[in-house]
Structure 1
Amino acid sequence: MLEEHKFSIKTVVDVERRVIAGGGDMHYDCEQVLLDDGSTQENIWGASFMPVNQKITYDSIVNLRPRQNRSMEILDPNIRERVAQIIIEFLGKL
């Protein structure tokens, strides 16, 4: 997952199904993998994970949804927490 960006992993998380797609150049690529696998748009959120310091940033164009989230950053603290839990569960030991 670190091939494209040496210190950061682009991820997209389905908070309902508790699945994650990661790696690649853009969050969009991960988003498409989850959509093709049966996820629904309102349940998937983009973030980036830096394994070296376990830092998560919650900015991605896939988060921009006028009816649900009016920013590239995930604004809802509950969704942010769910995204963080899933990322750490799957990638926290890298």
Structure 2
Amino acid sequence: MLLIIRDSATPEQINQMAETYFGLRVKLAVDVVREIIAGGGELHADCEQALLEDGSQQVNIWGADWYPETKEVGFESLINIRPRQQNRSMEIQNADLKQRIETIVRHLLEVS
């Protein structure tokens, strides 16, 4: 189930988003300006589209993954290939941007 998360997610929301990948992973699109995420799509592009429809700007949206069991953040996605933004690979190259994304993801998805 694809959800837009604006405040701390509930365990139920995380489970719903993780259903697509059998609870192992949640594909995300993270708006680093609005500090919100869309998660649970089959593709990062599905999540990106949900944020675009919600008013986000494409230049502010980056793809990531959340692994609920290990509470790890991944930074690899096809939507991250952006030569015009100095990111030429699927992996986010800018360390500051990675840290910002990780902070947003942990704030919204790390359930105690």
TM-score in same-fold range (> 0.5):
yes
RMSD of equivalent CA atoms? 1.0
Q: TM-score, normalised by structure 1?
A: 0.95
Identity %: 47
Aligned residue pairs, count: 94
Q: Which residue of 2 aligns with 1:25?
A: 42
More helix by share: 2
Q: TM-score, normalised by structure 2?
A: 0.81
Q: Which runs of at least 4 in structure 1 moved beyond 4 Å after TM superposition?
A: none
Displacement after TM superposition at 1:90 (Å): 0.8
Q: Residue 41 of structure 1: CA displacement?
A: 1.2
1:36, CA displacement in angstroms? 0.9
**Which structure would you say has the larger Rg?**
2
Write out per-residue CA displacement over residues 39-58 of structure 1, whole angstroms, 9 at most, x where no aligned residue: 11111100011011111110
- Secondary structure at the aligned position of 2:55 is classed as coil
Is 1:8 aligned with 2:25? yes
Gaps of 5+ in 1: none
